[in-house]
A and B are shown apart, each in its own frame.
Chain A
Amino acid sequence: QQQVKQSPQSLIVQKGGISIINCAYENTAFDYFPWYQQFPGKGPALLIAIRPDVSEKKEGRFTISFNKSAKQFSLHIMDSQPGDSATYFCAANNNNDMRFGAGTRLTVKP
């Protein structure tokens, strides 16, 4: 049973555009929602995270929007750059039980 569903599977954006990746979860016990960025051959790196008591969190060009009632959250990358090209994973965590989405491969074209 896939507890975290992520879409799209792949995304192509022009440089300067906005990249949007969406995730939905099922288990209402999840209380921490991180996003990870992974470059080929590397381990996932924690990018930004949110807890369900806030609806939005922004760090630089990266913003998480969180909709608790819909059990959905999304990552927005503003002014996307070629260096942002990577695979992005959303995750949902409850008491150290972390479940990952399947990943979105983002390509930012120059």
Chain B
Amino acid sequence: NAGVMQNPRHLVRRRGQEARLRCSPMKGHSHVYWYRQLPEEGLKFMVYLQKENIIDESGMPKERFSAEFPKEGPSILRIQQVVRGDSAAYFCASSLAQGAYEQYFGPGTRLTVT
């Protein structure tokens, strides 16, 4: 029973490039959440998605960040024109359904912007 999968595990981008992070939820899970973690800090909620729908994006910056969870394939968090402040660990979590509160996390993608 595979857990939440994220790739790549490490991503290096130069300022101004695009970063694309992928998340495959646990089998049977249809709800995906993205979080950002800065060094020595907690997890900050970014966005909550179901298949083909963004449910809550209140934690996501209004510019340069976007997320999707298509009918087929992984959820993708896209960061356009990255800046050094975007360097962080990005974690994806999934849950079985709304109201099933257990969220299971992936190993994260560590983004470094040079």
Chain A residues within CB distance 8 Å of chain B: 6, 32, 34, 36, 42-46, 49, 89, 93, 95-103
Contact = CB atoms under 8 A, between A and B. Distances in A.
Interface size class of B (residues with CB under 8 A): 20 to 34
What's the dominant secondary structure at chain A's contact region?
strand
Contact of A32 (B4, B33, B43, B101): B101
**Which residue of A49, A95, A98 has the most chain B CB atoms within 10 A of its CB atom?**
A98
A46 B45 contact: no
**Which residue of A44, A46, A89, A101 has the most chain B CB atoms within 10 A of its CB atom?**
A44
A105 to B, nearest CB: 8
Interface string B1-25: 0001010000000000000000000
A93 to B, nearest CB: 5
Interface of B: 4, 6, 31, 33, 35, 40-45, 48, 55-56, 91, 95, 98-99, 101-108
B91 A43 contact: yes
Contacts of B43: 44, 89, 100
A96 B31 contact: yes
Given A100-B43, A103-B42, A44 B91 contact: yes
